[in-house]
């Protein structure tokens, strides 16, 4: 049913990618006079005078081991944003094709669609933030190329039922993008283990959340070797810089630290949830499998403004589909969470005094 050749844009199929100097000669040793680099070194301390590895082989080799996949099934980009943009440029014909998103969800899919002049079709999640399968399937038309599913979903924090994801994978001849930016904060398994069963599956993950490396800008995509080959054809040749590659590799070597910090964040999340339950103007605390919590409040704007006045910034999501009155709170350190809940309790007291 899924035919990669059929859904790839003709200009991409015919594209002759830029061949960098480092693509042509693979060795590490020699006198490199092929890329117009500065053989004298960098102006500052450190060795940044050479272009980085275009395919980030060292990082991918280590990552493949951790994710139980192969380097050829991995794309690394300048944040997940780059992978999202490449999906549009590879598979969606501007002004003709469309994609499906499931609000409330991550805003970048729609922004990237708009930049690429691709129509967005919205099929809202149900009240319990799960996909409306019948509606999604009936919304698919001949020009639908991508369906974005975020699990755990931002901003609702819940996992999407994997049976639903697989139903969509089986009933759609385009690409299903499963964004797992927050997968490390849940006990559920990544859908990476099903990559071999679904040639139309693209999984996004990131170094920005559980790995604590948002500033390095490294996103990952996992897919069939054929899809990854298309990604690599489109990406700028040197899209992940040397420092980011080196530090990502270093981070991957500290898997135990990664796991212990991730566990700590989950512990803090559960503690924070308990304290938030005591606050009267928080009407609902949604289940979270992520490093943030969505809460429904009686007056999101007022609470948001109060917190800002105390230099505590949360995300006001109250204007978003199905998120009336909602604030999204990132789990902080124990101390940060204490300050947050302390201020919320003070605010509660002033409300009570006004009554
Ligand atoms: C934070 C986040 C990302 C990560 O984006 P990067 O560009 O890799 O920093 C991706 N998807 C979702 C849903 C997110 O919330």
CA 292 – ligand 1 centroid, Å: 13
pLDDT digits (tens, 9 = 90+) for 246-302: 999 999 999 999 999 999 999 999 999 999 999 999 999 999 999 999 999 999 999
Please tell me if the CB atom of residue 153 comes closer than 6 angstroms to any atom of ligand 1. Answer: no
Euclidean distance between CA atoms 43 and 136, whole angstroms: 55
Q: Per-residue pLDDT for 185 more than 90? A: yes
Ligand 1 centre distance from Cα of residue 116 (Å): 19
Sequence-ordered list of residues with C-beta below 8 angstroms from that of 266, at least 6 positions apart, any chain = 185
The response to whether residue 151 sits with its C-beta less than 6 Å from ligand 1 reads no
For ligand 1, is residue 80 a contact (CB within 6 Å)? yes
142-154: pLDDT as tens digits: 999 999 999 999 9
Among residues 106, 95, 71, the alpha carbon closest in space to that of 177 is found at: 106
Name the band, by pLDDT with cuts 50, 70 and 90, for residue 355.
low
Q: What percent of the chain has pLDDT over 90?
A: 94
Nearest Cα residue to atom 3 of ligand 1 = 181
> Quick check: helix, strand or coil at residue 6?
helix
Report how far ligand 1's centroid is from the alpha carbon of 218 (Å): 10
What whole-number percentage of the chain has pLDDT above 70?
A: 100
At residue 24, the pLDDT reads 74
Measuring CA to CA, which residue among 284, 276, 279 is closest to residue 331? 276
CA-angle at 82, arms to 174 and 38, nearest 5°: 140
Ligand 1 center from residue 238 Cα (angstroms): 21
Classify the C-alpha dihedral 127-133-134-135 as positive or negative. Answer: positive
Position in ligand 1 atom list of the atom nearest CA 153: 13
Phi and psi of 163, rounded to 5°?
-65, -40
Tell how far the Cα of 27 is from the centroid of ligand 1, in angstroms: 35
Which residues on adjacent β-strands are paired with residue 147? 100, 176
Instruction: List all residues 6 or more positions away from 38 whose beta carbon is below 8 Å from its beta carbon.
Output: 49
| Whether the Cβ atoms of residue 266 and residue 292 lie closer than 8 Å to each other | no
Assess whether pLDDT exceeds 80 at residue 23: no
- Tell me, using a 6 A CB cutoff, whether residue 215 lines ligand 1: no
For residue 82, the ligand 1 atom closest to its alpha carbon is: 7
Q: Ligand 1: does its nearest atom lie under 6 Å from the Cβ of 152?
A: no
Of 105, 67, 103, 109, give the one whose Cα is nearest residue 88: 109
Residue 202 CA to ligand 1 center (angstroms) comes to 15
Residue with tokens 């040749």: 237
Average pLDDT over residues 32-38: 94
**CA gap 324, 46 in Å, rounded:** 51
* Helix residue ranges per DSSP H, the chain: 4-7, 10-13, 21-24, 57-67, 80-91, 108-115, 133-139, 162-170, 225-234, 242-252, 255-277, 300-309, 334-354
Q: Which residues make beta-bridge pairs with 295?
A: 285, 327
Q: Is the CB of 206 under 6 A from ligand 1?
A: yes
Residues 6+ apart with CB under 8 A from 263: none
Question: 179 CB under 6 A from ligand 1?
Answer: yes
- Is the distance from CB of 108 to CB of 84 less than 8 angstroms? yes
At 72-88, the pLDDT tens digits run 999 999 999 999 999 99
Contacts 24+ apart (CB under 8 A), 306-311: 306/343, 306/347, 307/340, 307/343, 307/344, 310/343
> What would the two tokens of residue 260 be?
């212990």
Other beta carbons within 10 Å of 189 = 10
Query: Which pLDDT tens digit goes with each residue over 86-131?
Result: 999 999 999 999 999 999 999 999 999 999 999 999 999 999 999 9
Asked whether the predicted pLDDT for residue 338 surpasses 70, the reply is: yes
Kindly list the strands in the beta sheet with 292-297, ordered across the sheet, starting from the edge strand earlier in the chain: 282-285, 292-297, 326-330, 315-316
Sign of CA dihedral 213, 214, 217, 223: positive
Query: Which residue's CA lies nearest to atom 10 of ligand 1?
Result: 181
Q: Cβ(150) to ligand 1 under 6 A?
A: yes
d(CA 33, CA 90): 34
pLDDT band at residue 1 under the 50/70/90 scheme = confident
Distance CA 324, CA 29 (A): 60
Contact 75, 220 (CB under 8 A): yes
Would the CB of 79 count as within 6 Å of ligand 1?
yes
Q: Does the structure show a pLDDT above 90 at 7?
A: yes
pLDDT band at 3 (very low <50, low <70, confident <90, very high): very high
Please choose from 129, 159, 208 the residue to mutate so as to test ligand 1's pocket, defined by most ligand atoms within 8 A of CB.
208
């Amino acid at each position: 049913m899924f035919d990669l050749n059929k859904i790839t844009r003709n200009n991409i199929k015919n594209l002759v990618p830029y061949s960098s100097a480092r693509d042509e000669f693979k060795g590490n040793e020699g006198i490199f006079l092929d890329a117009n680099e500065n053989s004298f070194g960098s102006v500052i301390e450190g060795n940044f005078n050479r272009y980085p590895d275009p395919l980030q082989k060292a990082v991918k080799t280590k990552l493949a081991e951790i994710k139980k996949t192969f380097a050829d099934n991995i794309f690394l980009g300048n944040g997940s944003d780059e992978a999202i943009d490449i999906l549009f440029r590879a598979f969606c014909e501007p002004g003709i094709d469309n994609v499906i998103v499931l609000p409330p969800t991550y805003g970048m899919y729609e922004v990237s669609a708009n930049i690429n002049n691709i129509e967005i079709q919205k099929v809202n999640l149900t009240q319990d933030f799960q996909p409306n399968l019948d509606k999604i399937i009936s919304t698919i038309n001949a020009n639908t190329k991508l369906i974005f599913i975020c699990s755990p979903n931002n901003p609702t924090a819940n996992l999407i039922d994997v049976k639903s994801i697989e139903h969509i994978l089986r009933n759609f001849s385009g690409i299903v993008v499963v964004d797992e930016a927050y997968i490390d904060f849940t006990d559920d398994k990544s859908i990476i283990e099903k990559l071999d069963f679904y040639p139309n599956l693209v999984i996004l993950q990131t170094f920005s959340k559980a790995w604590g490396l948002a500033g390095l800008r490294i996103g990952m995509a996992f897919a069939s070797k054929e899809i990854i080959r298309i990604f690599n054809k489109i990406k700028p040749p040197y899209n992940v810089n040397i420092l980011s590659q080196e530090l990502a590799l270093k981070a991957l070597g500290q898997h135990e630290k990664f796991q212990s910090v991730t566990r700590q964040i989950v512990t803090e999340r559960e503690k924070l949830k308990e304290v938030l339950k005591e606050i009267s103007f928080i009407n609902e605390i949604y289940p979270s499998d992520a490093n943030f919590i969505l809460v429904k409040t009686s007056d999101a704007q007022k609470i948001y403004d109060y917190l800002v006045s105390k230099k505590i910034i949360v995300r006001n999501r109250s204007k978003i589909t199905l998120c009336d009155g909602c604030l999204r709170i990132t789990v902080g350190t124990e101390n940060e969470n204490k300050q947050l809940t302390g201020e919320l309790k003070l605010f509660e007291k002033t409300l009570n005094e006004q009554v």
